[in-house]
Amino acid sequence: MKQSLFHTHKRNISKAIHFNKMMTWIATGISIFIFFLIFSLLYIILSKGLPKMSVHFLIGLPEEIDAGGGVGPFLLNSFYILILSLIMSLPIGIGTGIFLAEYAPNNTFTEFVRTSVESLASVPSIVFGLFGYVLFVEYFQIGVTIIGASVTLALLNLPVLARVTEEAITAVPKELREASFALGATKSKTILKVVLPAAMASILTGISLAACRAFGESAIILLTGGTSTSGVMWDFNPLSEGGTLPVHLWYVQSEALVEDAQEIANKSAAILVVITLLISTTIRLPLWIKEKISQLKNR
């Protein structure tokens, strides 16, 4: 009797161990498979688009019917709208983050702001697009424009910026603030001169995240910026049409009449991927270098 109990126990344990091994392999297998899949997708996009890339394509004007057009104005608009929207959303987003992290009293108003930030972050981009459409096309009657697109895009950035700023500031140790107060600094001075610089690294990462999202956004731009541009390169008039590269990619892929539509789509997708990778890595690069230097110093 005792012997058999011992044996069943042993059998159970060995079963559990085998099961453990099997599940470990399965988790490893799935992870590796997914990462392999993602890498191959990126590789396909880049290998399809990059080899035929030329400067003419990057800054050339688009063609309606003939092959050989570029995406210059769309690319320019993408950056222009991104920068305008960041200029508008950075102060308000960071201000909200500071409020939530430093000032927010424990009351209904704070609760209301916190709920608004989280709800805004989850509002589907198409709803932002419709809001911008009502505001600029129907209410102000200025049609689809660069300025309309960037204001609407700024609204999309706000919650992301507010949240990352709050997280970054909360992570700053309390001692820094106390030291600053002890030196006689006011609260605003403490925040501006001590807390913000200390939190700068994580805030920058957050900004790069928001910038990537805004750069690739297409539903909002389609509704508030339109699908085409003014048709001239280096046009900085905020009232001209504001089609961006993501919208152009959609247009070319699904509606365009151009002969080489597929090639334009391939190249545009490759540019988009390269630029988003660049945005997220270049903003992190200084941090990474700083980290490495401090590591070397500590050694």
Partner 1 sequence: MERLSNNLSKNTAQSFNLMRSQTKWTKTYVHNHLFRYLCVFSALFLGITLFSIVIFISKTGLLVFKDVSLSEFFFSTKWDPENGKYGAAVFIMGTIYLTAITLAIATPISLCIAIYIAEIAPNSLKNTMRSLLDLLVGIPSIVYGYLGSTILIPLIRKVTGATVGDGILAASLVLTIMILPTITRIADDAICSIPKELREASYALGSTKFQMITKVLLPAAKSGILTGIILGMTRALGETMAVVMVIGNVAQFGFNLITPTSVLTSNIVMQILNVDFDSTWNYALYMMAFLLLMMSMIFIILIRKMRPKGVK
- Within 226-265, the residues that bind partner 1 by CB under 8 A are 246-247, 249-250, 253-254, 262, 265
Binding of partner 1 at residue 36 (CB under 8 A)? no
In the bound state with partner 1, the residue whose beta carbon lies nearer, of 66 and 255, is: 255
Taking CB under 8 A as the binding criterion, the range among 21-29, 174-182, 234-242, 291-299 that sits at the site for partner 1 is: 21-29
- Residue 299: which residues within 8 A CB-CB, separation 6 or more? none
Q: How far is the CB of 112 from partner 1 (least distance, A)?
A: 6
For tokens 């409020």, name the residue: 99
Binding of partner 1 at residue 223 (CB under 8 A)? yes
In 3D space, the residue among 254, 240, 243 whose CA is nearest the CA of residue 217 turns out to be 243
Taking CB under 8 A as the binding criterion, the range among 12-20, 50-58, 193-201, 229-237 that sits at the site for partner 1 is: 12-20
Please report which helix (H) or strand (E) contains residue 22, including its range. Answer: helix 2-49
C-alpha atoms less than 13 angstroms from C-alpha of 237 in its C-beta half-sphere? 11
Binding of partner 1 at residue 171 (CB under 8 A)? no
Binding of partner 1 at residue 283 (CB under 8 A)? no
Question: How far is the CA of 190 from the CAs of 112, 144, 157, 176, 194, in angstroms?
Answer: 26, 43, 26, 9, 5
- By CB under 8 A, name the one of 157, 218, 228, 240 that touches partner 1: 218
Cα–Cα dist 227/183, whole Å: 56
Cα–Cα dist 299/297, whole Å: 5
CB neighbours of residue 82 within 10 Å: 23
Binding of partner 1 at residue 277 (CB under 8 A)? yes
What the block records as the tokens of 211 is 């910038």
Tell me the three state secondary structure of residue 160: helix
Rule CB under 8 A: which of 78-137 touch partner 1? 91-93, 95-96, 98-100, 102-103, 112-131, 133-135
C-alpha atoms less than 13 angstroms from C-alpha of 124 in its C-beta half-sphere? 4
Q: How far is the CB of 64 from partner 1 (least distance, A)?
A: 19
Taking CB under 8 A as the binding criterion, the range among 63-71, 172-180, 207-215, 289-297 that sits at the site for partner 1 is: 207-215
Binding of partner 1 at residue 19 (CB under 8 A)? yes
What the block records as the tokens of 72 is 């210059």
Q: How far is the CB of 121 from partner 1 (least distance, A)?
A: 8
Binding of partner 1 at residue 62 (CB under 8 A)? no
Q: How far is the CB of 244 from partner 1 (least distance, A)?
A: 10
In the bound state with partner 1, the residue whose beta carbon lies nearer, of 183 and 232, is: 183
Cα–Cα dist 119/167, whole Å: 17
In the bound state with partner 1, the residue whose beta carbon lies nearer, of 124 and 236, is: 124
Binding of partner 1 at residue 31 (CB under 8 A)? yes
